[in-house]
Amino acid sequence: MMRLVPRAEPSQRMLLVAPLLAVLLTFLAGLAVFASLGQNPLAAFKVFFVDPLSDMNGVSELLMKASPLCLIALGLAIGFRANIWNIGAEGQMYLGGIFATGLAIHFNEHGGAWLLPAMVVAGAVGGALWASITAFFRANFHTNEILVSLMLTYVADLLVKFLVYGPWQDPAANNFPISINFGEDALFTLLATFGGDWLEGTRINTSIFITLVAIPLMWLFTQKSFAGFQLAVAGAAPDAARYAGFSEKRMIWLALLIGGAAAGIAGVTEVAGPIGNLNDRWTPGYGFTAIIVAALGRLNAVGIALASLLMALLYLGGEAAQISLQLPKAISQVFMGLLLIFLLGCDVLINYRLRFEQAAAR
């Protein structure tokens, strides 16, 4: 018989090594997946994980995908540290996109340099407002935030559809569900326009700086701020938080508003970035993938930054595998799933030990 026995002292070092181990195991399992699909495993591996990074354009695309993932995951991780499970970042991101689009359409002809910053703020407010519905019900009626935030994602999705099929539809779009394309003032500037031939043709834009600022901010919040400490206590020992007199309601609001605002801003960086408009299928599920990113990054700012790069690579590799190897689109999700399973498995084995026993002598 096999049993899991708790370890007396889980190794702190292994806790950090586990994500790397999970990545390694995912790569190995990936080779097996490729082989089972009738591909040459090594060649397929190269197409999936190496080729996307072989030129500047690839690196730019990687950063473009990693940036919103990282931003959302940083916000979510603050809540996760307090055991507040906001699963609805996807919906909060939609609302960020909707709020920003509202400004972009309204000031289409008469914008200015102020428009983009205003859209970022509006996006943050939109995401936070959407998350505040979850916060209100959790704080006052003890509803389950996982269910509420997840359900609200589907509401947000329908809201986007309503807008792009209805009032915000571009009259010139031949009935396609799409808004007008944003004007110059409502878009992030391409880094390539600042010169540098080596950036020629890449899509990376100034929104990357928002994420670059958010990483140290998140680190500061979790490591140095008293509010971050309170959230960590609430996560590790809720009774201790109550005993010390940390307000539970305040923490619920704080965690969800931060997570919602971060997701909202990520929505702005998408609609005002590579997409350039609002339509009904503009996101490849960043809000959900960010949950894996946060877990893989150990809810830690630096870890999340690295994890977001890896997840972005899985997206890119999946696209490359579809094009060059004619593999199904689901291949990216297979890899994400593998990664998550291996990570959870490593975590179990860090905290528990496997013990093999003969059937107990009765």
Partner 1 sequence: MMPVTGTTDTHSATPSHDAPAREGAPLPAAVETPLLSLHGIRKQYPAVLAVDGVSMAFGAGEIHAVLGENGAGKSTLMKIIYGAVRPDAGHMEWNGRPVHIGSPGEARALGIAMVFQHFALFESITVAENMALALPGKFDLKALARRISEVSERYGLPLNPARPVHELSVGERQRVEIVRCLLQSPKLLIMDEPTSVLTPQAVQQLFQTLRQLSAEGTSIIYISHKLDEIRALCQRATILRGGRTIDEVDPRVESERRLAELMIGRDFPETQRRPHHTGKVALEIMGLSVPGDGPFGTALAKVSLQLHAGEILGIAGISGNGQAELLAALSGERPVADHQAIWLDGQPVGTMSAGERRRRGLAYVPEDRLGRGAVPPMSLADNALLTAHRQGMVKKGLIRHAAMAAYAGETIRQYDVRCGGTVAPAQSLSGGNLQKYIVGREIGQAPKVMVAAQPTWGVDVAASALVRQRLLDLAAQGVAVLVVSEDLGEILEVCDRVAVIAGGRLSPARKVSETSADEIGRWMSGMFPDPAAEAVAVATAAAAATA
User: Is residue 247 part of the contact set for partner 1 (CB under 8 A)?
Assistant: yes
Considering the complex, what minimum distance in angstroms separates the CB of residue 257 from partner 1?
A: 16
Buried/exposed 34-43: b ≥16 CB within 10 Å, e otherwise: beeeebebee
CA-to-CA distance for 362 and 350, rounded, in angstroms?
A: 31
User: Applying CB under 8 A, which of residues 2, 113, 172, 360 lies at the interface with partner 1?
Assistant: 360
User: Applying CB under 8 A, which of residues 237, 323, 348, 354 lies at the interface with partner 1?
Assistant: 237
Q: What are phi and psi of 356, to 5 degrees?
A: -100, 130
User: Is residue 4 part of the contact set for partner 1 (CB under 8 A)?
Assistant: no
CA-to-CA distance for 120 and 101, rounded, in angstroms?
A: 10
Residues with Cβ within 8 Å of 340's Cβ and at least 6 positions away in sequence, in order, are 292, 295, 296
Contact assessment for residue 78 and residue 222, using Cβ atoms and an 8 Å cutoff: yes
User: Is residue 362 part of the contact set for partner 1 (CB under 8 A)?
Assistant: yes
Number of residues that bind partner 1 (CB under 8 A): 22
User: Applying CB under 8 A, which of residues 233, 301, 305, 311 lies at the interface with partner 1?
Assistant: 233
Q: Which is nearer to partner 1, 9 or 184 (CB)?
A: 9
Q: How far apart are the first and last CA of the chain?
A: 14
Contact assessment for residue 62 and residue 208, using Cβ atoms and an 8 Å cutoff: no
Tokens coding 187 = 């878009």
The number of residues making up the chain comes to: 362
Considering the complex, what minimum distance in angstroms separates the CB of residue 361 from partner 1?
A: 6
Considering the complex, what minimum distance in angstroms separates the CB of residue 71 from partner 1?
A: 22
CA-to-CA distance for 149 and 255, rounded, in angstroms?
A: 13
* Residue range at the interface with partner 1 (CB under 8 A); choices 25-33, 36-44, 237-245, 323-331: 237-245
User: Applying CB under 8 A, which of residues 229, 280, 309, 334 lies at the interface with partner 1?
Assistant: 229
* Residue range at the interface with partner 1 (CB under 8 A); choices 143-151, 170-178, 295-303, 354-362: 354-362
CA-to-CA distance for 195 and 358, rounded, in angstroms?
A: 70
CA-to-CA distance for 123 and 99, rounded, in angstroms?
A: 5
* Residue range at the interface with partner 1 (CB under 8 A); choices 97-105, 244-252, 296-304, 328-336: 244-252
Considering the complex, what minimum distance in angstroms separates the CB of residue 305 from partner 1?
A: 22
User: Is residue 340 part of the contact set for partner 1 (CB under 8 A)?
Assistant: no
CA-to-CA distance for 25 and 195, rounded, in angstroms?
A: 41
User: Applying CB under 8 A, which of residues 246, 253, 286, 315 lies at the interface with partner 1?
Assistant: 246
User: Is residue 244 part of the contact set for partner 1 (CB under 8 A)?
Assistant: yes
Q: Which is nearer to partner 1, 241 or 321 (CB)?
A: 241
* Residue range at the interface with partner 1 (CB under 8 A); choices 81-89, 138-146, 236-244, 339-347: 236-244
User: Is residue 236 part of the contact set for partner 1 (CB under 8 A)?
Assistant: yes
User: Is residue 217 part of the contact set for partner 1 (CB under 8 A)?
Assistant: no
- C-alpha dihedral, 345 to 347 to 348 to 352, nearest 10°: 140
User: Is residue 32 part of the contact set for partner 1 (CB under 8 A)?
Assistant: no
Q: Which is nearer to partner 1, 46 or 242 (CB)?
A: 242
User: Is residue 13 part of the contact set for partner 1 (CB under 8 A)?
Assistant: no
User: Applying CB under 8 A, which of residues 225, 330, 348, 354 lies at the interface with partner 1?
Assistant: 225
CA-to-CA distance for 278 and 186, rounded, in angstroms?
A: 12
Q: Which is nearer to partner 1, 176 or 243 (CB)?
A: 243
CA-to-CA distance for 43 and 23, rounded, in angstroms?
A: 19
CA-to-CA distance for 312 and 105, rounded, in angstroms?
A: 30
CA-to-CA distance for 215 and 119, rounded, in angstroms?
A: 21
Considering the complex, what minimum distance in angstroms separates the CB of residue 334 from partner 1?
A: 34
CA-to-CA distance for 27 and 330, rounded, in angstroms?
A: 16
What does the binding site for partner 1 look like in residue numbers (CB under 8 A)? 8-9, 224-227, 229, 232-233, 236-237, 239-240, 242-247, 360-362
